[in-house]
Amino acid sequence: GDEPLRRRLVQAARERVEGRFRLEGMVDGYEAVYRDCVTNPRVVIWKLSAMGDFVLATPSLRAIRRRFPTSHISVVVGQALGALAARCPYVNDVILYDPKRRDWTRRAARRVIRRVRQGAFDLSIDLQNSRLTHLMAWASDIPTRVGYDRRWGRSLSQRVSLPRRAMDPVSHQFELLRSAGIPPDGMALELWPTEQDEQAAHRLMAELRLDSRKPLVGLHPGGSARWRTKRWAPARWAALCDRLADAGAQVVITGSTSEQPLIDAVRQLTASAPALVVGRTSLMELAALIRRCAVFVTHDSAPLHVAVAMGRPTIALFGPTDPARHAPPSPLVHVVSKKVFCSPCYSPRCRTITHACMTRITVDDVFDTVLELLNPKSKIQNPKSPSCASST
């Protein structure tokens, strides 16, 4: 009595198998996989360093996410950028490159390559554009690898020629994205302080007795220890502090723990008493504090990009580097620089010993720019005090 039922079940099973594995079905399956890879590719982005450069990459990260709204997007960053990258709303996953020591570079690279291979990525976008990142992408078996054709550019599947004209860093990245069919999505820089970061900045303001009703000017005299040629002299920063204090502004000086000796040197030269925030904040807490500044003054450094991301008018002092290539493309940025025959030299050491590109920037140059940027209602006055332009 079960034989007819058995035959019907066998026939139904045969029909299901034949229907699933017939040639047309296999072709449809391949097409579905192909369409998914094209419309929702798994994307890996390379940006190992540095802090300011990652902030400059946020418009590109935003554009990539907008182009691939449902794709899995990972970013490979150096250990120092891990916490910042984890805040980025445009990526699903952060892969850390952490060599720890120079002789461990190969080991760290192998760890990254294994992790990227496991991710089975379809598209690699190299915003770092270094020999190391080109090679890691190639070794990770990613079919489409986009980057600028420079060191080891042959390891890329899609090489993009470097722009010949001077171009700001965001536009420079956008040229790369366009070659991958990714349209730009605005040039605004981003950072993502949380409510906890805002509360920490509020508590710090209260502790330093800074009045939120009065204009606050932030100064960041430091920067890369390697690039001391980018720095303005401590005496100039001290004179600027005093001029601002005499004009009725509140001044806060920011810096990292490693910059404590520099900040101490500035403080010792001031007649006023600026508030000091040195090594007391995380990056996001610093961003929240900078958001409370009416104007922020710094060199070509990471805090420049942080201030712009926070939407604050920012004065950027440029000397050995070219602002056309390194200043954020924003109307908030006001570059102060001097034309010198040897600038930009891109040298960590001044070859002329004069450091003229920075010493020719006077206190008056910066102070007057601060006054222009402050709201007329800020009650800041330009006192008739002797010029400090000759400070050294």
- If 0-12 CB within 10 Å is exposed, 13-18 middle and 19+ buried, where does residue 17 land? exposed
Map residue 71 onto helix, strand or coil: coil
Quote the strand ranges of 241-329, DSSP E.
250-255, 275-278, 295-299, 314-317
Mean pLDDT of the 288-313 span: 97
CA distance 131 to 156: 11
> For position 371, what pLDDT does the model report?
95
Strand order in 314-317's β-sheet? Answer: 275-278, 250-255, 216-220, 295-299, 314-317, 333-336
Q: Is the pLDDT of residue 91 over 70?
A: yes
Give the residue among 226, 210, 244, 196 at the shortest CA–CA distance from 385.
Answer: 244
Which of these ranges, 58-72, 98-112, 240-254, 326-340, has the smallest mean pLDDT? 98-112
Mean pLDDT of the 301-328 span: 96
pLDDT tier at 163 (50, 70, 90 boundaries)?
Answer: confident
Note the pLDDT tens digit of each residue in 96-114.
999 876 667 888 999 999 9
Q: How far is CA 392 from the centre of its chain?
A: 32
* 158: Cβ contacts below 8 Å, ≥ 6 apart: 144, 145, 146, 147, 179, 180
Note the pLDDT tens digit of each residue in 34-47.
454 456 899 999 99
- If 0-12 CB within 10 Å is exposed, 13-18 middle and 19+ buried, where does residue 315 land? buried
* 200: Cβ contacts below 8 Å, ≥ 6 apart: 281, 285, 288
CA distance 143 to 138: 9
Paired strand residues for 148? 160
Based on its alpha-carbon atoms, the radius of gyration of the chain, rounded to whole angstroms, reads 27
pLDDT tier at 224 (50, 70, 90 boundaries)?
Answer: confident
CA distance 116 to 255: 36
Q: Is the pLDDT of residue 223 over 90?
A: no
Task: Read off the pTM.
Answer: 0.86
CA distance 273 to 378: 20
Mean pLDDT of the 189-214 span: 96
φ, ψ of residue 317 to 5 degrees: the values are -90, 120
* 334: Cβ contacts below 8 Å, ≥ 6 apart: 313, 314, 315, 316, 369, 373
Residue 146 falls in which region: left (phi positive, over 0), alpha (psi -120 to 50) or beta? beta
Which of these ranges, 90-104, 126-140, 190-204, 325-339, has the smallest mean pLDDT? 90-104
Long-range own/partner contacts, residues 307-314 (CB < 8 A, 24 or more apart): 307/218, 307/332, 308/189, 308/332, 308/333, 309/55, 309/58, 309/189, 309/190, 309/191, 310/191, 312/218, 313/373
CB 91 within 8 A of CB 74: yes
* 323: Cβ contacts below 8 Å, ≥ 6 apart: 300, 316, 335, 337
Place of tokens 């002797």: 386
Map residue 38 onto helix, strand or coil: helix
Residue 25 falls in which region: left (phi positive, over 0), alpha (psi -120 to 50) or beta? alpha
Q: How far is CA 262 from the centre of its chain?
A: 24
CA distance 216 to 292: 7
What does 347-370 look like in DSSP terms, one character per residue? -SS-SSSS-HHHHTS-HHHHHHHH
Give the residue among 180, 251, 267 at the shortest CA–CA distance from 219.
Answer: 251
pLDDT tier at 318 (50, 70, 90 boundaries)?
Answer: very high
What average pLDDT does the structure give for the chain?
Answer: 89
CA distance 368 to 142: 53
